Amino acid sequence: MKLRVLARLIQIQRVLVRHGLDEFVAETHLYRPLRFVFLASPWTWFERRKGATRAERLRLALEELGPIFIKLGQALSTRRDLLPADIATELCKLQDRVPPFDGALAKRIVEDAFGRPVLDIFEEFSQQPLAAASIAQVHVAKLKADGSNGSGSDVIVKVLRPGMREIIERDLEVMHALAKLAKRNSHEARRLRVDEIVDEYEKTILDELDLMREAANAAQLRRNFEDSDLLHVPKVYFDFCRVNVMVMERIRGITISDMTTLRKLGTNIPLLATNGVKIFFTQVFRHNFFHADMHPGNIFVLADDPSRPRYAAVDFGIVGTLDLRDQHYLAENFLAVFDRNYRRVAELHVESGWVPADTRVDEMESAIRTVLEPIFNKPLKDISFGTILLRLFDISRRFDMRIQPQLILLQKTLLNIEGLGRDLYPELDIWQTAAPILREWMRDRLSPRAQLRQLRGHLPAMIEVTQALPPLLKVAVQKWQDGKLHIGVQPEDIEKLRQEIRASEKRRNATLVATMLGFTSLLWFGLELWPAGVGPLLLIAAVVVLWVGRRRASR
């Protein structure tokens, strides 16, 4: 293990001991003897925090350890049902009340980024931070009224904390070392694919250090919800964005965790909770582009009309997308769960490769039913997700379920959303709210019009291939005539293939009938819905396929 990694591990232990979190050190298996050095060291005892509660000491330790640990605290803070109340309340302060860095330094960073004085860009710029988080902090400003982009607008200026990359890369190195150590010595760590999880996390957190990327993410999310009354995404002023500085519209909303103010205004809380679920499923399945850092510090409510409140989101450093195959399997899993079709859930896990191919589907079906059946038709307040998570972990171990690192962001976001829903409106029935959204998406995705749109999108590539075929065929024919065309199939292989073809004649004839019906339907839809000129192409394609099928069937 590298000296740098060892030094950081010792530093982590020291911080935990200094903040009186001895129980965490006692549970640490690495360098177990070293904890006695810290516990016995006079300087450790002199530095110990006195008078602070357990929850305060934990928060202060996470703040001192840096951005990766702060983000861990933020994630935990969204799950009050899984934490003691005092710790959950204290960790909420990590969402937007992390100690800021000097405002004068932030001003200097902005001036260095633009190469000119801050008042050449802004009419006003407050050096006092509006909020501070683990990676950056934001300042209130007003653009100059000079007729340029965003002229005279009230904005926030997001400034990256100095030295972030070096700090994060150091802790990532520690995480990689620990993941390799765990994988080498633990079957459970290998099953959980801890090294791949760290790889995914590394990509995610390093992306957060590029505020130009965050600005692009915000613009995409704003475009996705442009005509929606569910979510408002602030406008980004790209002319004033750099890698370490971002300028965007200022949001004047109520933080989602300020339930006292929301209730005082008479906000429609049930509608707000329902819309939160709609936003999540819309982002994941309809847009395939979702905000993946939805802790309360990043979510606001616009309650100008309390009967029809809207969400507003900030901080777009972490977004997620899904591979189309994963998206399909997830949608089917959700729908199977909504329908209580536990066998289909088990089958999907086998088909997707999330569990070994030799898994007993009936046994897995029974295990899933045992966990999920008791929570159906119950509001969030009556569901113990702590117990459910433990049962799901047991299932994953029993069936050697492989963690899917590419889904970690989605799982994290789903936990955040469920935690927000629990705090916002505990009576929410997440199943009844989500099911219609997903069913509508599946219907749209599988409709004839959607299939034709996909074919239409592939049409340029099909035409390009068609244009490339004649010269390739000409070369092949010339080589064949010259005796230079060699196909890697031996005579015995050809005879074996012929026997297999004769044995499957009935199946082939059935396939031919299905192909004829399919192309007839495709031709009908093409002539009905596609632009002029495409119908004849479909007709030619249908004739060619039927002719080839007939020739093969006659052999």
pLDDT greater than 90 at residue 128: yes
Distance CA 18, CA 125 (A): 38
Q: What is the DSSP string of 157-179?
A: EEEEPTTHHHHHHHHHHHHHHHH
The domain locations on the chain are 3-94, 165-205, 255-443, 447-486, 489-555
Contact 130, 77 (CB under 8 A): no
Q: What is the mean pLDDT of the chain?
A: 78
What's residue 79's pLDDT? 66
For the chain, the 3-state helix, strand and coil shares in percent, each to the nearest 5, are 65, 10, 30
Task: Give every CB contact of residue 366 below 8 A, 6+ residues apart in sequence.
Answer: 342
Amino acid at 475: V
Q: What is the pLDDT of residue 55?
A: 85
Q: Where are the beta strands (DSSP E) in 442-495?
A: none
Select the more confidently predicted residue: 207 or 428: 207
pLDDT(249) > 80: yes
Cβ contacts of residue 74 below 8 Å, gap of 6+? 91, 94, 95, 134, 295, 297
Report whether pLDDT(195) > 60: yes
- 522 vs 460, higher pLDDT: 460
8 CB neighbour count, 10 Å cutoff = 18
Q: What is the tens place of the pLDDT at every residue in 316-334?
A: 998 989 888 888 888 888 8
* pLDDT given for residue 522 in this prediction: 44
- Could you list the active site residues? 293
Specify the pLDDT at position 37.
Answer: 53
pLDDT tens, position by position, 28-59: 454 455 555 555 555 555 555 555 788 888 88
Residue linked to tokens 């080498």: 184
CA distance 6 to 181: 13
Count of positions (residues) in the chain: 555
